[in-house]
Structure 1
């Protein structure tokens, strides 16, 4: 199998609902995403002959996904009262509501699924919330 790898990063705030420790409080991370795409064989035609895919296309996709979450407050849907959300929006904060708990594990899966939706064939996504700690998502 052939694989390509690219990286991107984004800064965002979040908190973990129903968590009993420091991470239940609002805090931020410099998230680092490392994405891999794979292919059993190289392409055989056109400008991508003998490639998995064009690195530029791959990099742009991963960077665009990271940019969507950069400098925003990642919020699990239903974790804040509607009045709180309204106040944050009224103050002009950038909010991203997500249908899952905003753990590194779920963000890795989110990137994987978004890459698939963009037509890429991801094999694995690593999501670092600190330089030494990451969650990895790959389908079973």
Structure 2
């Protein structure tokens, strides 16, 4: 089996509503996303995949989350959300809990429809990584 990987990163803040620890508070990360693609055979160009193709799509996804506040749907009071928007904060709402584990599955699901992705790793910090793989 051949495996290749590429990565992208973004800076963003989040919080975990009703979490009983310090991650309940608003905080930020330098998120790093590593995508691994595999194939039992190489294509006609002797590659698993052209890195340019998957890097372009991964960068587009990472750029979507860069320098924003990521919130889970329904995790902020309407008044709080409106106040942040009125201050011109960029907010990206997701329909999942914004943990590294859920982001790993999110990136996997989004990219595997176009590429033979077998594993996604999401780092919240250089030492903390969550993995989703088939």
Pairwise TM-score range, normalised by the shorter structure: over 0.9
How far 1:7 sits from its partner (Å)? 1.1
Compute the RMSD of aligned alpha carbons: 1.0
The aligned counterpart of 2:52 is 56
1:8 aligns with 2:19: no
The aligned counterpart of 1:131 is 126
The aligned counterpart of 2:36 is 36
**Structure 1: runs of 5 or more not aligned:** none
CA distance in structure 2 between the aligned counterparts of 1:64 and 1:38, rounded to whole angstroms:
21
CA distance in structure 2 between the aligned counterparts of 1:76 and 1:31, rounded to whole angstroms:
17
The aligned counterpart of 2:109 is 113
- How many corresponding residue pairs? 134
TM-score after normalising by structure 1: 0.91
1:103 aligns with 2:99: yes
TM-score after normalising by structure 2: 0.95
